[in-house]
Structure 1
Amino acid sequence: MMVLNTSQFSAIRGERMNKSELTQIDDVAKADLKQLLMQYHTSSNGLTSQAAADRLAQDGPNTIRNVKKRSEILVFIENFTSMMAILLWISGIIAMAAHMVELGIAIWAVNVINGCFSYWQQHAAQKATDSLKKMLPSYVKVRRDGQSLRVNTEDVVTGDLIELQAGDAVPADARIITSANLEIDESSLTGESVPVDKTPEYHHDQGEFSQDNMLFAGTVTTNGTALALVYATGMDTEFGRIATLTQGQKKVVYPLQRELNHLTRQLTIIAMVIGIAFFGLAIFFVHYPVANSFIFALGMIVAFIPEGLLPTVTLSLAQGTQRMAKRHALLKNLNSVETLGETTVICSDKTGTLTQNQMTVNHLWLAGNTYDVTGTGYVTNGKIMAGNQAVSLEQDSDLTTLIRIATLDNDTSVDEGTSNEKAKILGTPTEAALVILTRKAGEDRQALTKQFERLGELPFDSKRKLMSTITKTPAGNWLIYTKGALGSELAACDRILDKGVVRPLTEQDRQRIVAANEQYAREGLRSLAFSYREVTADDPLVGTKIADYTPQTAETHMVFVGLMVMSDPPRPEIYDAVQKCHRARIRIIMVTGDSPVTAKSIATKIGITSANARVISGDELDQLSDDELRQALKGEVIFARVAPEHKFRIVSMCQKNGEIVASTGDGVNDAPALKRADIGIAMGVTGTDVAKDAADMILTDDNFASIVSAIEEGRTVYSNLQKFLLYILNSNVPEAAPSVVFLLTRGLVPLPLTVMQILTVDLGTDLLPALGLGIEKPEPGMMDQPPRPQNSHLLNRQIIWKAFGLYGLVASIISTCAYFFVNYVHGWPNVALAASGSLYAQATTMTLGAIIFCQIAAAMNCRTQISSVFSVGLFSNRRIWLGIVVEIVLLGILMEVPLLQEIFNTAPLNSAEWLFLACIPIPLFLLEEGRKLLVRHLRVRSQS
């Protein structure tokens, strides 16, 4: 679903909401739940799959449609009304008024073709962007046929029972059936940033959308869990109704757009100044007629305007993001590409990002026994291997209790699938590992959950790092099952289960448990601690309502049971990705909730840091001042046992150190850090909807290596923009040089290149090779260079020097020599230079041809900045070669078609002249290859 601007919601809600609509919401909120289920033909088992499919076909997908889409006609017209376009319209009128109709038509043709070209590229870029949006599906758990299924939010229908937990976006308007500690962020509807409590009971406070038992599309679950009945989807939701009045938002101008707009204005002003200067020189220095001087100056203006710059950049960005998508990184905004190229620090989670996120239980620790279950077959036929002995749950009551807590204090479910599908585990990898272990140990989870009824739960909280469920035993007793981080668990326990006997937890017990946990951590393993509490007759909680249970009252006086120890091996590709970051001068800072020992073990193992890295815990971080933290961030550092809220401070201090920060996250509390970071990166597989909404980029595989690939692509896109700019600008000099010769000789040398021929270069031969440069693949060694400085610009000194002082100057000399070559063959300097006729047409055609063949060499030379073109493949970029073929074919058509000969002042060339042109690109290409080889050699020497 789209997210609409909060202020716009607030501004119009008074206009939209009326009594009938309020009554409709209240009617659903007040209705008897059983009657409501009957009304929507559903039950506590949810809809049947067939009923859901029928309703989806009848009502359509659960999406917000764009009801105020901009008119394509207006979008098309905008491409013909820029400052430069208006100037060319006026110039065409003046040319026609001066009785140069062909020139006026040609100038207008420039506008028409360039406008159509711009519109086509905008359309292509939008199409690419839309295709990326389709790759960002949102999912929700629904109950159908009595089972929990994970479906696309577009497939949610009225009558569905949706299951929500912290981090989920509410996909449709719904009535709460059951909930536990549920809090909803309704700021998108109400403008209030503080989450509100929600319960199944109806209560209506003052203000709109304030019914306690109602959920609305576009809001977000920040805490707790809920089961709710969907009663409105898509445009029928409150969100959808408001959307009809709020679409058509004002576009945001991003830094890259501002720089491109600034660059366009700069080049336009330069062109105008040059044009005015040439106009004055033509009149006062050469004594040209005013009309001819104006046309002459107009040619200079056109020569220096990079037509198609902005749309080509947009298309280049879109194609770059599509390449990123193929490498599992989806950018939500094209302009984020610029920031990726500047990234200097990556603040990365460990689990699932650096590791495989495939948790496997391999050790079980109990006070009276331990189980090493690292090998295959460690759990078989309902028995767990303890050394060489197979132990059943009946043989070890402590083990039975541990397995039971892992089974019942667990929100992960199993979708058994169909005969054609494999079973799927719906939940977190950690809980999934527990489910797999308990299933293999012979515990029937479905039967156990029916036997031990869940009465309520205290959802996991990143601050207390615990999750608890309250269950009712077959005997009618209440049990509180808790799992979580060892430190938090031990703090809540005062007893321990030891060989079936509950006894006081001694200091010696605590030391033994901590020592075992630290040993596992040194091996890079992660542990979960388990405990329970029986609410007996003398327990203070007796008589307390489940809704009134709090962590402070329930998670105390617990009985410690044991540890389940898991491994999550590093991803195989992480080692190469980390080395790439080091070569690219990008620092990696691990920020994890795991123990300091585990974090350092993993970081050292995969090469993020050395063994000398400083490890800062969350508690230590709280004690550090901002200056101390900033100083620590300048060295090798790992953050362990930190809460997601700590990320915001870490990211902020990195930025104050002058870093460009990319930060990963997947949870609700990660959202502030993701928004704060220069590039927020959410996990596409395990990430919550809140994290994805706050992020700039989403990883479809949750893989750190994909971040590195995205940075490489970001650098490549920016490099390609500079290549494109270099190619476009380098032809400006040879276009202007003939006019300079004409001025310096005070008209004794006739114009070697006509205005119409200048238009041919700008409009016809520049475009396709330039587009080819915009999609060039990453250059070898791209990740061996440091990040681009923040104050760098697209048009830098190096590009100016290459465009005007190297490529442009060489092309100017060659094209001018080509003009004199034709005249020399026909008797010059013994005869005067022709100012008209077939010889003049042949000479100007030769000048045009030389510029085009210099462009061919420039297109190849611009493909790489330092590396040899052969290293990327001489023929690997087919679009450039297509552009080269089109250039040559176009030149041939202009020379051979009589009508075009008259309009463009061209003439056929003989074989010797064609041979002259064909020889131009080869030495230019080889000379540039030699220069790049010398630069590479000097860089190697300077680094050695």
Structure 2
Amino acid sequence: MKNGLSTDEVKERLSSFGYNELPSEKPKNIFGIAMEVFKEPMFLLLIACGVLYIILGDVNEGVILLSTIFIIIFITFYQYQKTEKALNALKNLSSPRALVLRDGKEIRIAGREVVPDDIVILNEGDRIPADGVLFDTVNLTVDESILTGESVPVIKSSQIDPSNTIGHVFSGTLVVQGKGYAKIFATGLRTRFGEIGCTLLNIEQQETRLHNEMKSLIRNLFILGAILSVVVIIVFYWVRGNFIHSLLNGLANAMAILPEEFPVVLTVFLALGAWRLSKINVLTRKPSAIETLGSATVLCSDKTGTITQNKMEVSVVYDGDNSFFKDSFSENKTQILEIINYAHWASQENPIDPMEKAFYNTHQLLNENSNTPYKLQKEYSLSKSVLAMTRVLKNTANHETLVASKGAPETIFKLCHLNPQESKKYLNIVESYAEKGYRVIAVAKATMKSTALPNSQIHFAFKFLGLIGLEDPIRPEVPQAIKECHDAGVKVIMITGDFPTTARSIAKQIGLNVDHNLITGGDLDTLSDDQLQKIISNISIFARVVPKQKLRIVQALQNNNEIVAMTGDGVNDAPALKAANIGIAMGNKGTDVAREAASLVLLDDNFSSIVSAIRLGRKIFDNLQKAMSYIIAIHIPIIGLTLMPAFFSSLPILLMPLHIVLLELIIDPICSVAFENEQEEENIMKRKPRDPQEKFFGRNKILASVFQGSLLLGMTMTIYFLSIHEGHTNAEVRAIAFSSLVIGNIFLILTNLSKTRNFIKVITEKNWAVWIILSTAIIMLLLIISIPFLQNIFSFEFPGLKHFISSLIGSSLILLTLEILKYLKNKKKFLPLS
């Protein structure tokens, strides 16, 4: 029981019983993906056009057009596989965790790795990973509403009788209070949860503002495309008199206008964005968080374990008269031994809390040859009204009872009924320790005058023993991360339960503005909501704060129109995490309740990971916006060139369905692969947070895309008319104009890949996806305009290489124009914040 299972035993049980998980939806095979493609409007248009070509007698063109379906299926399959792998990785990370005993050590594992006979340690806020029988409990209460529907938590206790459910815990239920040890007897489908047919929850998908905006834009473009297609069919038939050709041109127009890339790009970007965040130890539980990351204006962070390393050690002990630092503990053992022992006895027997671990380690160091057995009689937990923890222990050897208490110095002073002079003397010591960044804990003891235990720890007659200063070093990367936040226009607020002077000392070390006001939890309770809202913009440090007060801090900031990111780890942090615009739960020390309430989970509990997430969130949003801008821009010339011959009977038809499909084979992967893989913008963390009220694709951005597309349309039409004027055949004109469109498209891609870097920098960067796609596009273009068989299929004739010079010159002029406009815009927009 004390050692748990060995590694070999775990492997054996995994092979016998399998993983502790329930069946989930099987990934779609290639035929399932193909069926999804069959339902897409673009696919239906391709079938219609292919059939029409065959009716017209152009069998080769019809077959090739229908064959492109397989190419589209391949691209879709590739995108789907990347997305599916990303979602599966996130799903595994999202699964509840379990603290188990393995090979004599406490380790935290994924819930799916729990096996029968595992010893699981249950703490407040944990989601129970499998069915088990309890053999040790301390005030354990479990919420079983997920199974029974009863909202009242159930009090649990260890039972000898295995048939008594009071001694059982069940998979999926939640520990709301206390602690317990359970031996697992059922996992996966054999649990109570599995028997009633529950299935694994998929990663949460919700309709975000971005999704809704995209739906609206796609709907409007679809309606516009349908109207224009009908108009084109009517006008084309009126002008040219061939209904089949009119229908073919109308379908080509529908293919040109239909923005089928939008939903694909949005899905791929958000799924792969979440996967990329997981690579920097940030798990995305809600996709909306990716959108919101770039808008964050305030980041509220816990100190312990996030800003600091959460590796506490006892640095100094004060016995009422003298201070003894850790390098002299051995020489001054007699002076500090009682204080350390009582601090240890006031802690959990198998400590998880870093502070209690520090007491345990120092106690072991000073008591090498002593191992007096004590049995717990009663524990008085820390509460909001009494910030101290008291444990009553009985020596099993001589039956002596002792009472050990540790807690906040102010609370211990009150419990010991110290006079004002003594309190002032000890508070000065606390202040001096706090100035050095130590977390200060006071220790007291009491003797039992009767066998009856009081209902509250305040009724003991405590005697003050001394003070202990613990040190938790800051993470070395935090000061730079704080500076990045400042440069990015994101205010950092540190929230801690520590003494104010300790908080100020840590704040100074990490580079926070210590000149700003500091507020304690006590001050917070005296302020009204309006008062807090007025002063909170000048506060960078909250000290002596309890978790419930975090919600007030979040609401006060939000009432000032701030976009708040808030970290938390406990059950009581859940309301604040849910209320925050971006709730961030701790992955290591955080409870499952906090993880479920949060949008993001820090897998390494590291503050710098939050800053990296903000940086990556901005990059994902930028690249998504660039991809969408490009989609609109490139569709403008396609629409224009498709419509033009319908209204002018003397002009040769330029873009046929096959040409549009060829363009789509360039556009689709560029949008969903190349743009997604693009580097972050220059000065991405030197600009203000994005305004959350600003539309993802507002009027100005649409007009900018239309302007780019119009430039490309104007250039292509100019070359189109010049070719006609030079006396080229219709097939040569089509080849020259189509080549102009493809070359111009390539130049348009190069300028759109970055909003801040010029195209030369973009060319020299290692975005291999761009070069593979663009190289393929150029090779395809050269092949179809030079090989007779392909010329015949695409209705091209080779006019000679010199006739493509105008296409290169025109495309270069477009690139130069857009690069100059980009430079002028960036001079104003992307200056570093003062």
TM-score by length of 1: 0.82
Instruction: State the match for 2:566 in structure 1.
Output: 663
Q: Tell me, yes or no, if structure 1 residue 241 matches structure 2 residue 195.
A: yes
* Separation in structure 2 between the aligned mates of residue 108 and residue 723 of structure 1, nearest angstrom: 31
Instruction: State the match for 2:601 in structure 1.
Output: 698
Instruction: State the match for 1:493 in structure 2.
Output: 416
Q: CA deviation at 1:683?
A: 1.3
* Separation in structure 2 between the aligned mates of residue 253 and residue 574 of structure 1, nearest angstrom: 34
Residue type matched to 2:124 in 1? Answer: A
User: 1:531 aligned to 441, 444, 447, which one?
Assistant: 444
Instruction: State the match for 1:499 in structure 2.
Output: none
User: 1:874 aligned to 751, 761, 764, which one?
Assistant: 764
Instruction: State the match for 2:477 in structure 1.
Output: 573
Q: CA deviation at 1:127?
A: 0.8
Instruction: State the match for 1:507 in structure 2.
Output: 420
* Separation in structure 2 between the aligned mates of residue 245 and residue 352 of structure 1, nearest angstrom: 34
User: 1:804 aligned to 682, 687, 706, which one?
Assistant: 706
Residues 1:359 and 1:316: Cα distance change in structure 2 (over 3 Å): same
* Separation in structure 2 between the aligned mates of residue 701 and residue 46 of structure 1, nearest angstrom: 26
Instruction: State the match for 1:761 in structure 2.
Output: 663
Judge conservation of contact 1:875–1:881 (CA < 8 Å) in 2: no
Instruction: State the match for 2:133 in structure 1.
Output: 175
User: 2:579 aligned to 651, 672, 676, which one?
Assistant: 676
Give SS of 1:850's match. Answer: helix
Give SS of 2:548's match. Answer: helix
* Separation in structure 1 between the aligned mates of residue 293 and residue 797 of structure 2, nearest angstrom: 50
User: 1:647 aligned to 535, 545, 550, which one?
Assistant: 550
Judge conservation of contact 1:319–1:775 (CA < 8 Å) in 2: no
* Separation in structure 2 between the aligned mates of residue 264 and residue 200 of structure 1, nearest angstrom: 59
Instruction: State the match for 2:259 in structure 1.
Output: 306
Instruction: State the match for 1:432 in structure 2.
Output: 357
* Separation in structure 1 between the aligned mates of residue 176 and residue 344 of structure 2, nearest angstrom: 25
Instruction: State the match for 1:159 in structure 2.
Output: 117
Give SS of 2:165's match. Answer: coil
Query: Comparing 185-194 with 913-922, which one deviates more in the overlay?
Result: 913-922
User: 1:632 aligned to 507, 521, 535, which one?
Assistant: 535
Q: Tell me, yes or no, if structure 1 residue 751 matches structure 2 residue 663.
A: no
Give SS of 1:633's match. Answer: helix
Q: Tell me, yes or no, if structure 1 residue 360 matches structure 2 residue 287.
A: no
Residues 1:145 and 1:757: Cα distance change in structure 2 (over 3 Å): closer
Q: Tell me, yes or no, if structure 1 residue 709 matches structure 2 residue 634.
A: no
Q: CA deviation at 1:941?
A: 8.2
Instruction: State the match for 2:393 in structure 1.
Output: 471
* Separation in structure 1 between the aligned mates of residue 498 and residue 212 of structure 2, nearest angstrom: 42
Instruction: State the match for 2:367 in structure 1.
Output: 443
* Separation in structure 2 between the aligned mates of residue 262 and residue 203 of structure 1, nearest angstrom: 61
Q: CA deviation at 1:343?
A: 1.9
Residues 1:80 and 1:412: Cα distance change in structure 2 (over 3 Å): farther
Q: CA deviation at 1:314?
A: 2.0
Q: CA deviation at 1:930?
A: 2.7
Q: Tell me, yes or no, if structure 1 residue 590 matches structure 2 residue 488.
A: no
Q: CA deviation at 1:487?
A: 2.4
Q: CA deviation at 1:404?
A: 0.6
Residue type matched to 2:751 in 1? Answer: N
Q: Tell me, yes or no, if structure 1 residue 61 matches structure 2 residue 19.
A: yes
Q: CA deviation at 1:707?
A: 0.8
* Separation in structure 2 between the aligned mates of residue 872 and residue 534 of structure 1, nearest angstrom: 75
What stretches of structure 2 of length at least 5 have no aligned partner?
A: none
* Separation in structure 2 between the aligned mates of residue 943 and residue 681 of structure 1, nearest angstrom: 26
What's the CA shift string for 1:448-476, capped at 9, x where partnerless? Answer: 3x523334433444663333322112321
Query: Comparing 505-514 with 245-254, which one deviates more in the overlay?
Result: 245-254
Residues 1:554 and 1:453: Cα distance change in structure 2 (over 3 Å): farther
Instruction: State the match for 1:7 in structure 2.
Output: none
Judge conservation of contact 2:121–2:182 (CA < 8 Å) in 1: yes
Instruction: State the match for 1:142 in structure 2.
Output: 100
Q: Tell me, yes or no, if structure 1 residue 522 matches structure 2 residue 480.
A: no
Q: CA deviation at 1:216?
A: 0.9
Residue type matched to 1:428 in 2? Answer: D
Corresponding pairs, count: 833
Residue type matched to 2:356 in 1? Answer: E
Residue type matched to 1:811 in 2? Answer: L
Judge conservation of contact 1:84–1:268 (CA < 8 Å) in 2: no
Query: Comparing 908-917 with 62-71, which one deviates more in the overlay?
Result: 62-71
* Separation in structure 1 between the aligned mates of residue 302 and residue 69 of structure 2, nearest angstrom: 51
Instruction: State the match for 2:716 in structure 1.
Output: 815
Instruction: State the match for 1:864 in structure 2.
Output: 754
Query: Comparing 67-76 with 768-777, which one deviates more in the overlay?
Result: 67-76
What's the CA shift string for 1:548-569, capped at 9, x where partnerless? Answer: x64x147632222111112223
* Separation in structure 2 between the aligned mates of residue 220 and residue 770 of structure 1, nearest angstrom: 40
What's the CA shift string for 1:418-475, capped at 9, x where partnerless? Answer: xxxxxxxx723222332333344x3239x53x52333443344466333332211232
User: 2:340 aligned to 403, 407, 412, which one?
Assistant: 403
* Separation in structure 2 between the aligned mates of residue 404 and residue 147 of structure 1, nearest angstrom: 23
Judge conservation of contact 1:223–1:459 (CA < 8 Å) in 2: no
Judge conservation of contact 1:811–1:854 (CA < 8 Å) in 2: yes
Give SS of 1:301's match. Answer: helix
Q: CA deviation at 1:359?
A: 2.2
* Separation in structure 2 between the aligned mates of residue 800 and residue 932 of structure 1, nearest angstrom: 16
Residues 1:408 and 1:72: Cα distance change in structure 2 (over 3 Å): farther
Judge conservation of contact 1:728–1:770 (CA < 8 Å) in 2: no
* Separation in structure 2 between the aligned mates of residue 871 and residue 49 of structure 1, nearest angstrom: 52
Residue type matched to 2:472 in 1? Answer: D
What stretches of structure 1 of length at least 5 have no aligned partner?
A: 1-42, 385-389, 414-425, 495-504, 829-833
* Separation in structure 1 between the aligned mates of residue 349 and residue 782 of structure 2, nearest angstrom: 69
What's the CA shift string for 1:373-401, capped at 9, x where partnerless? Answer: 3xxxx05xxx44xxxxx32x23x2xx111
Residues 1:331 and 1:119: Cα distance change in structure 2 (over 3 Å): same
Give SS of 1:707's match. Answer: helix
Matches within 5 A, 1:263-342: 263-284=217-238, 286-342=239-295
Residue type matched to 2:719 in 1? Answer: A
Residues 1:491 and 1:554: Cα distance change in structure 2 (over 3 Å): closer
When the two chains are superposed, the root-mean-square deviation of aligned CA atoms in Å is 3.2
* Separation in structure 2 between the aligned mates of residue 571 and residue 703 of structure 1, nearest angstrom: 8
* Separation in structure 1 between the aligned mates of residue 2 and residue 354 of structure 2, nearest angstrom: 27
Identical-residue share of aligned pairs (%): 30
* Separation in structure 2 between the aligned mates of residue 943 and residue 333 of structure 1, nearest angstrom: 30
Residues 1:869 and 1:643: Cα distance change in structure 2 (over 3 Å): farther
User: 2:512 aligned to 608, 631, 634, which one?
Assistant: 608
